[in-house]
Amino acid sequence: MEHADRDRRPRQGPRRTAGRTTRRHGGRALRGAERKIEAFRSTDGGESWTKAVTVDGIRFHPVAGNLRTSPLPSAEIAADGTVFVAWEDCRFRRRCTSNDIVFSRSSDGVNWTDAARVPIDSLTSGADHFIPGLAVDLATSGDDVDLALTYYFYPDATCTGGCRLQAGYISSPGGGATWGDPIELTEAMSLSDIAQTSQGPMVGDYISTSITGGSATTVIAVGLPHAGNVFDEAMYAPTSKLPIATTAQATRPSTTAGAGPITGQGTGAAHHTLK
């Protein structure tokens, strides 16, 4: 079984290498060496494809509350053809106690960088991050690629006292080398306000995030308090576009070896204005 996430929007301009990233797990629950992100590419508009290459392995911490989520990849391509892919992964946390959002990049779809941690918070924050939605600004390239990332998170991965689900946002003006402060997009949601599926409560397998005109937008599922059997869960978008951090604001370095101390889950201004 394979799961894929790729940009499905039509694009105009010169033909360039097309890429696709997948998460392969052999049709069973993810475990051990089976867990990996793979990529394969086409240089003739999809008429033929290369064999898959491994982007990286996956270390995944099962999310509390039986929330429906798994390390599905989110990928986009910059103006110069560089491919970025992000997924949830616990390799940077001691004993894999919670997930970070990590990412890799490739200029040819074959050779990939080591997974780097998006520095949303400290390695000892106790937060769990999952369901990333990555956007790349098609007007940028090289070391100046603008990235925008939407994600869900638990401030407390253990859900002590009950799971409190939120959505967050963070951006990078330098191809993921450094990131700005995270922004909270929603207030905390109770899982009892999220519709159930056969695989647990669900806010979606993916998030779509896009950058236009130098700022980002996204659409996310939000569950509001309800009574009885009728849920109040709908899709919401920010009332205004989300900013891309400036170089001066992007003071949080990503790293493949673990990030330095960063205080606060969401030190940027909280945005609880969705519509």
Q: Does residue 267 form part of some domain? A: no
Q: Does residue 195 form part of some domain? A: yes
SS (H, E, C) 52-72: CEEEEECCCCCCHHHCCCCCC
What's the whole-number mean pLDDT along residues 38-51? 92
Residue 18 has pLDDT above 80, yes or no: no
Domain range for 107 is: 2-6+17-253
Q: Does residue 266 form part of some domain? A: no
Residue 154 has pLDDT above 50, yes or no: yes
Residue 34: phi and psi, rounded to 5, are -70, -20
**What is the Cα–Cα distance from 109 to 22, expressed in whole angstroms?**
12
Q: How long, in residues, is the chain?
A: 275
According to the model, what pLDDT value does residue 126 have? 95
Instruction: Determine contact, residues 16/81, Cβ cutoff 8 Å.
Output: yes
Residue 258: half-sphere exposure toward Cβ, Cα within 13 Å: 9
What's the whole-number mean pLDDT along residues 120-133? 96
Q: What tens digit of pLDDT does each residue of 166-204 get? A: 999 999 999 999 999 999 999 999 999 999 999 999 999
pLDDT band for position 270 (cuts 50, 70, 90): very low
Q: Does residue 70 form part of some domain? A: yes
**What is the Cα–Cα distance from 266 to 170, expressed in whole angstroms?**
10
Q: What tens digit of pLDDT does each residue of 60-114 get? A: 999 999 999 999 999 999 999 999 999 999 999 999 999 999 999 999 999 999 9
pLDDT band for position 258 (cuts 50, 70, 90): low
pTM of the predicted model as reported, rounded to 2 decimal places? 0.83
pLDDT band for position 274 (cuts 50, 70, 90): low
CATH code (residue 74):
2.115.10
Q: Does residue 11 form part of some domain? A: no
Residue 205 has pLDDT above 60, yes or no: yes
What's the whole-number mean pLDDT along residues 28-57? 81
- Amino acid making up residue 167: A
- Tokens standing for residue 183: 């922004």
- Tokens standing for residue 117: 């941690």
Q: How many CB atoms lie within 10 A of CB 168?
A: 26
Q: What tens digit of pLDDT does each residue of 206-257 get? A: 999 999 999 999 999 999 999 888 999 999 999 999 999 999 999 999 999 7
According to the model, what pLDDT value does residue 35 have? 83
**CB-based contacts of 15: which residues, under 8 Å, 6+ apart?**
45
Instruction: Determine contact, residues 222/236, Cβ cutoff 8 Å.
Output: yes
Instruction: Determine contact, residues 171/245, Cβ cutoff 8 Å.
Output: yes
Q: Does residue 168 form part of some domain? A: yes
Residue 23 has pLDDT above 60, yes or no: no
**What is the Cα–Cα distance from 233 to 219, expressed in whole angstroms?**
13
- Amino acid making up residue 75: A
Q: Does residue 134 form part of some domain? A: yes
Q: Does residue 196 form part of some domain? A: yes
Name which of 10-19, 20-29, 46-55 the model is least confident about. Answer: 10-19
pLDDT band for position 49 (cuts 50, 70, 90): very high
**What is the Cα–Cα distance from 65 to 164, expressed in whole angstroms?**
10
Q: What is the domain count for the chain? A: 1
- Tokens standing for residue 165: 């689900």
What's the whole-number mean pLDDT along residues 14-41? 55
